[in-house]
A and B are shown apart, each in its own frame.
Chain A
């Protein structure tokens, strides 16, 4: 089988590229070692939260941010295109019902009660926007160890005040469980809440505890397959706005988003082949022609005209560091930029220090093609997207998923423009 495009990796960057290419008429195959970071942190699409000051409008802040960080992935994607990628995603992933955009950031509470800037979020999260202030009640479950609403509420009031927002927040705890289990993950709750009986029980337990005028924050577990219905029913039952607060992995909203992508891509003829690791590649005259992946009994070769590398950073093993500190790009052995020289420190003693290794990754040209040290594309037809790109500190900037969407969209665009 010959594909138009092989996408390596099925995190948010790979999924975005695959969806756009499939929509552009490409025969797409997604080859992945395993699930991507959507399952860990896919709840909100943060485009730029801090740079380093808190960002209110990503699209307005990006030009200055990029000028200060010329090696940043956003320096390869013009700000209007970043905004366009979010609009495109909102339109083409209707099942996930995304709200927002690059124009202005929401301020949403994290599970530890810090208001965090996010650009594009599922509708079940959006009504947690703290900017207008108000009265909030946060709901915990005794059987869920990954959410502490009293701690959240207390921090939130103080942190919001520090940002000039007046709000009140309190917490309640519900005995809701499944089969009497004392230790349930958010994912187990979400699956159970796909069943109407448990939803009714949730509403029954919660309804008497909510006061008039309150907005209700729950951990992000309101259903997996049928999140919209769970959310609607709960809002109807309470007569109050309800929103979800993302908490520790696995990320229920991230899994919903992954499922929405997979369905959309499959519907357009795209294929997913999982548990495959790139082990070899073939190239001719500066073009990549095929990749070989490890499979059950022998390597299997996939040929294509274009390739998108979205294998992630260190967390997803797109990059690997050995005990000497040497960093390798694991699929094609591409040049890696920003690696500290031998003998230089790789990490610094303070956890929040700016570590020399943080911006390590693959450097790319304006079409997101990995380049060598001279700035020339390594392969004419290989584009890279997402966390593998050099130049970002996404966890600090609150930019990770935004970079993935913008560069996945841009990589696919470059390929579609080329033919």
Chain B
């Protein structure tokens, strides 16, 4: 356990204790409760094996503890902690040396919240996830929690979202609700360190993360990120309108021009900029089908320009860091269909940056198609999931088939594979094309 993780745990425990002592009275609306304390434990063993170069990817033992205390109806304190140890490091000395143990063990608090109701308003205070988006495998409306990309091929996609300390208040008006999220913690995307399996050489994140950081402090209660969601139903159609003003979880690399005896010196830095994002989503039944969509427009999002255009950008706006601001549209349209124990879901995802005089450093137009097929048989004892993502611009395919078997009420075993196919290994996903792997896991939940 690293000192940072220990510090994090102490901070979480302290905050949870403070929150517990500060809870106001709640309105009794829930049915009668039985025991105020509940606890659940999950033990998971995940084993991954790279097929291309025949080596172990992970031998991870993971323990998750979920503790909940409900002293009275409508008032709830919950703490979910998780820790793991990856035995791969014990059996592969070379890997240990290369990565300095990065990813060998991890301890994190996934949830530490006090939840209570005040009339028609529900509050959740603490470290948590806020979910706005409904998409599978890609993300559009999920603006609040950053992602942990240190290992972006993972068994459970829920694990990739990083919880944040925030206040979530939601007021209900019949079938409508207004949600306000205030986050004093400014989360940042976690990238894989150099030397690890999913290091992003395409974006050279390690080099960029070594640069001077310009942006907010991690905790800044005086300048929190703020999100609003109005959601409800128009007839039988679910709709939501979303707005978010917050710091970008990923950086853009800017350049500062400094005078020097030998001529101007250009010094790069990484910038986390505050951006306003507007968006919305819908889900509409069409007979036996469900049509759904979500879309956002990030206003004046900063982008790095191509290196050839950097002098022009700096000349045009010396204080602008060679960055240009463009509106960025991200949209998703999906259809779902279910029939006896089978779900079929297809999505098309589009990411477009507005044009401008200067070319951007990287292409900002992409189209991704996803196809999800899920089927259960033997009354849910067996289940197959197959999520496939295809990037039409890069011509990259990622297929994630999974087969799971529920041995009993406690134990579930699963096997699966992650299959990459990329035409251009210099593309973002192409760099991971040797990450084809087989997966076997065992999960005990009690």
- Answer yes or no: are A and B bound together in one complex: no
A residues lining the B interface (CB < 8 Å): none
